Amino acid sequence: MKCRHCNSELRLPFLDLGSAPPSNAYLSARDLLAPQTWFPLRVMACETCWLVQTEDYAGREALFTQDYAYFSSFSTSWLAHAQTYVQAMRERFQLDAHSRVVEVAANDGYLLQYVQAAGIPCYGVEPTASTARAARTKGIEIIERFFGVALATELAATGLQADLMVANNVLAHVPDINDFVAGFVRLLKPQGVATFEFPHLLRMVQGCQFDTAYHEHYSYLSLTAVSRVFAANGLDVFDVEELPTHGGSLRVFAQRQDSGSRPIEAAVATLLCVERDAGMLSAKFYDQFQLQPSRIARELLSFLIDQVNAGRRVAAYGAAAKGNTLFNFAGVRPHLLPYVVDKNPAKQEKYLPGSHIPVVSEAHLRADRPDFVLILPWNLKDEVMEQLAYVRAWGGKFVAAVPRLEVL
């Protein structure tokens, strides 16, 4: 396979998780009677541009389906993050009623609702019908298509160019990263700004966050790689911020090469040096990561088997994609962990892809009163423990498996 960005031959393995079904392909009871498609889940690093990427097996239409079940608004901390972002961008870039904000991968309107409330014209691009429908119920205009040069050119031709473009946790989700990035150049106004948030590959490695690898994540991103991808497609990075979200993320600020005039902030060079000093421009950084998922899987299986043998019950919370990666790699099945709780109705009464563990409502957890609750979205563990604080009243305890098995 060749690199999705620079077309160099990929030879450096980063992660091999065997095979798995798409992580957001939740199953109905009827689906359990039919075969399910599994794809190899292998990740490679490009030694030319250092873009880390999955091998090509599943196209975007197979992953981001009409009944896509990830809705951003079910996380209160993520809503707070979005609201804070909107206020910060309003102040930094003087956005007002004469501006236009466009969010690519607008999901269920979790962010644009705050832009709209501030009186700033906006619209979103979102290809999945389920989340687009939810955004429209908030009164947000949605273009229900995949984003790239073709769509950006159409929108720009109708006068819909943007002062600010937002791309939160979507850059990793696109198979044609060059076409996607080039679309921002077409849709930004000459002095417009685009911000991109994505999990930082450096933190993924340092935190043993292998469960963030799944087919919907085509790329695993560093500032080093992103700067090169942007420069080759007409964008310049002029600032970067480190964020705590998703176990450690970056917010990258970019402008058009042909017309942007903002100075490059010192934070860009500083973070590039941090990545270089961490070894991210050498093969050794990438070829040792495979050891971590094997250790984590062993720790989790040992814990679950010990609890079953002792007559104690373990439930899980959060039917998240990262949990599906963990369960399918480790081989967790209902005989070890009988159910997962999730507050998203779109996931309830369905089954996790691969493991076939049922997804239930919080009412089931209250009635069952398990001894342990395994928190699968470990990046939201504080939020989850606050939400489920009543578990401790019956002597229940919380557990996280990443970066190491820990009773919280």
Express each pLDDT in 30-41 by its tens digit.
Answer: 999 999 999 999
CATH code for position 358: 3.40.50.720
- Quickly list DSSP for 179-197: HHHHHHHHHEEEEEEEEEE
- Is there a domain that residue 334 lies in? yes
- What is residue 58's predicted lDDT score, i.e. its pLDDT? 56
Mean local confidence (pLDDT), 248-269: 97
Bridge partners (DSSP) listed for residue 124: 103, 142
Give dist(CA 308, CA 294) in Å, integer: 21
Q: How many domains does the chain have?
A: 1
Check residue 65 and give its pLDDT: 52
Strand-strand pairing, 359-360 and 340-341: parallel
What is the rounded CA–CA span in Å between residue 146 and residue 93?
27
Would you say residue 343 lies in a domain? Answer: yes
Confidence of residue 23 (pLDDT cuts 50, 70, 90): confident
The end-to-end CA distance of the chain, in Å, is 42
Whether the pLDDT of residue 29 is over 90: the answer is: yes
Kindly state whether residue 351 falls inside one of the protein's structural domains. Answer: yes
Other Cβ atoms less than 10 A from the Cβ of 386: the count is 11
Question: Per DSSP, what are the bridge partners of residue 167?
Answer: 196
CB proximity list for 282: less than 8 A, separation 6 or greater = none
The three-class DSSP label of residue 287 is helix
Residue 44 lies in a domain: no
CA distance 386 to 382: 6
Q: Is 398 left (phi over 0), alpha (psi -120 to 50) or beta?
A: beta
Q: Is 151 inside any structural domain?
A: no
State which residues form the domain around 308.
296-407
- For the stretch 109-157, pLDDT in tens is 999 999 999 999 999 999 989 899 999 999 999 999 999 999 999 999 9
Nearest CA among 368, 383, 375 for reference residue 408:
375
pLDDT at 60: 54
322 has pLDDT over 90: yes
Least confident window among 66-75, 204-213, 264-273, 341-350: 66-75
66-79: average pLDDT: 71
Statement: residue 349 has pLDDT above 80: yes
Whole-number mean pLDDT of the chain?
95
Q: Answer yes or no: is 126 within a domain.
A: no
pLDDT category at 77 given cuts 50, 70, 90 is: confident
- Of the candidates 49, 41, 39, 57, the one whose C-alpha atom is nearest the C-alpha of residue 1 is 57
| CA atoms within 13 Å, Cβ hemisphere of 355 | 28
The predicted pLDDT at position 130 comes to 87
Distance CA 306, CA 310 (A): 6
Q: pLDDT band for position 189 (50/70/90)? A: very high
State yes or no: pLDDT of 70 exceeds 80: no
Longest dimension (CA), the chain: 66
The reply to whether 286 falls in a domain is no
Is 123:143 a contact under the CB 8 Å cutoff? Answer: yes
Percentage of residues of the chain with pLDDT beyond 70: 96
**pLDDT value of residue 67:** 52
Per-residue pLDDT at 85 exceeds 70: yes
Residue 69: band (very low, low, confident or very high) from pLDDT cuts 50, 70, 90: low
Q: To the nearest whole percent, how much of the chain has pLDDT over 90? A: 90
